Structures are given as C-alpha cells and as structure tokens.
Copies of this chain bind each other. A is one copy, B any other.
Amino acid sequence: MTAELLNGREIAKAYRAGLAEEVEKLKAQGITPNLTVVIVGNDGASLSYVRSKNKAAEKIGMSSGIIHLDADVAETELLDTIERLNNDDTVNGILVQVPLPEQISEEKVLEAIAPHKDVDGFHPTNIGRLYTGQRTFVPCTPLGIMELLKHTGPLEGKDVAVIGRSHIVGQPVAKLLTDAHATVTLMHSRTQGMIDKLKHFDVVISAVGAPGLVTGMHLKEGAIVVDVGNSVVDEKLVGDVDFESAKAVASYITPVPGGVGPMTITMVLNNTLLAAKWHNGLE
C-alpha cells in the first residue's frame, strides 16, 4: 500500500476559495470581515507568521491589520490595546501572537479578548462552550485536522490515537473526534508502551514535536496518519512521523510541511468570517 497524500496546501486552497466567495457576498452587504493581529517584540519567526496570516486574510478579500508593540511594552498598555479592539466595531477577529515577553501574563491577555472576537478559540469561555456543545470558535489546528479527515471517509466507530495532550491541539482534537463518534485514546509522555500500542489504531494523530517518533512499523496497515509535529532540524521543518516508512503502510498521510500547517491559518480565516457573520446577526 502507498498512502494517498492529504495535501493540506491543496485542501486549504479549495477551502479558502469557498471563504473568498462568502467574503464577497458579505461585502455586497456592506460588511468587510476584519482580522487584526497584535504582536509584541521582534521575533523573526513570529513576525513572519503574523504577516502570513495578514496576507492570507487580504487574499480572500478580508481587511487585516497588524498592531506591532515594543518588546518592553507594559502589560496594561497591551490590555488597553485589546480593550480598544474589543470595542472597535470594524474589527471582527483579534489574534495575539504568542509567546509574549516575560512581563506580560499570557493568561490575562487571552482572557481580555472578547470571546466573540477570539478567533483562535483560546478564551476559557469559548473552550467551555466547545465542551458543552454550544456555538463557539473551535481552535484552529484541531478544526483544520477535522477538515483534512473529511477527505478520508467517516470517522464513526474508528479507533483514534491522539499523541500529545496540549490544550491547543491534543485535547480539543480528541473532543472533536469524540463528537464525530470516533473512540479516542489520548496518549502522552507517561503512556506505557505507547509506540507498540499504535498498531491497534485506525487513525494516528501525532502532536508532540518529536521527529521520527512514529514510523511505518508502528502503524496498522491502512492507518490514517496526521502529523502535527512542527520541529526544525537542520533548518528544515519536520514532523513527528517518518514519512517514507509510514507512507508505505498508511492509507492516508499528511506531509510536513504542507499538511496541517496550511489548514491552521485557513481556520483562522474561517473563524474570522464566522465572527463577522455572527456580529451582524447572520447565521
């Protein structure tokens, strides 16, 4: 078996084309969805990531702004900035790029974003709504993974191993998979005999940041493999999965780069569109 590629770039491209059409319809009604990203300091990788979100929003017809604050900005000034964006009716989605400098409490900042503009879906109120089944912004990487998995057939009844228990990826994707009627085992660093257990699973989602963690010999024949790993080795972006050996066993597999990554930004745009619709009483 050679796995079919879950090509995140292509799937994201098609998905964004759909978003662009919806943006156009909103603009015809006088509504231009806006995504505003706040960044503190001058970390190169963060800056480039922020700019790519910005460009992606503009490419589908949204308006987009970047607010760039000095690395030594006071927490109160950042909170004031967020408060201003919360109250600005032309802003639909607010992202604050993390990590933040030491003098600023990330928790306080993420809680300061109005839940109805929190397109990252990190506000406790939004996470709570996710778990109670209410309308909310679903965190972008888990949402993007679910969108990729739509291309592999129904999840109902499948046994899924999620490796990594972060509240950004592992836990919410486990929740979404459970809602889709899959049976999820949430694995992590303390799981006994983890690698040998993977053989029993129809789907393996790895979100650890440990290059080479999962290889073909660990997988069930025909497994679906989603690689959320995101490490830099020899100046190259690599995932958790040994792609070549896994590809020979899996039925579907995501590459790194070009798998989950493009889907994450796409879901930021998706959530910003939702924010604009909800703000205007549409849907």
Contacts and interface: CB of A to CB of B under 8 A. Distances in A.
A231 interface: no
A178 B165 contact: yes
Interface string A62-77: 0000000000000000
Interface stretch (A5-13, A187-195, A235-243, A260-268): A187-195
Given A107-B134, A126-B128, A186 B188 contact: no
Interface string A154-169: 0011110000010100
Contacts of A125: 124-125, 128
A214 interface: no
A192 B182 CA distance: 9
B157 A186 contact: no
Nearest to A129: B124
Contact of A190 (B167, B171, B181, B185): B181
B107 A157 contact: no
A145 interface: no
Nearest to A172: B131
Copies of this protein chain in the complex: 2
B107 A156 contact: no
27 contacts: A107-B132, A122-B132, A124-B124, A124-B125, A124-B131, A124-B132, A125-B128, A127-B128, A127-B131, A127-B132, A128-B128, A128-B131, A131-B131, A131-B167, A132-B167, A157-B190, A157-B191, A157-B192, A159-B192, A174-B186, A178-B186, A182-B190, A183-B186, A183-B187, A183-B190, A183-B191, A184-B185
Interface of A: 107, 122-129, 131-134, 156-159, 165, 167, 171, 174-175, 178, 181-188, 190-192, 194
A186 B184 contact: yes
Nearest to A174: B186
A53 B167 CA distance: 33
Tell me which of A125, A128, A185 has the highest count of chain B C-beta atoms within 10 A of its own C-beta.
Answer: A128
A80 to B, nearest CB: 23
A267 B247 CA distance: 49
A75 to B, nearest CB: 18
Nearest to A124: B128
A183 B171 CA distance: 12
A61 to B, nearest CB: 32
A5 B128 CA distance: 35
A131 to B, nearest CB: 5
A165 B192 CA distance: 23
A222 to B, nearest CB: 15
A183 B197 CA distance: 11
Nearest to A168: B132
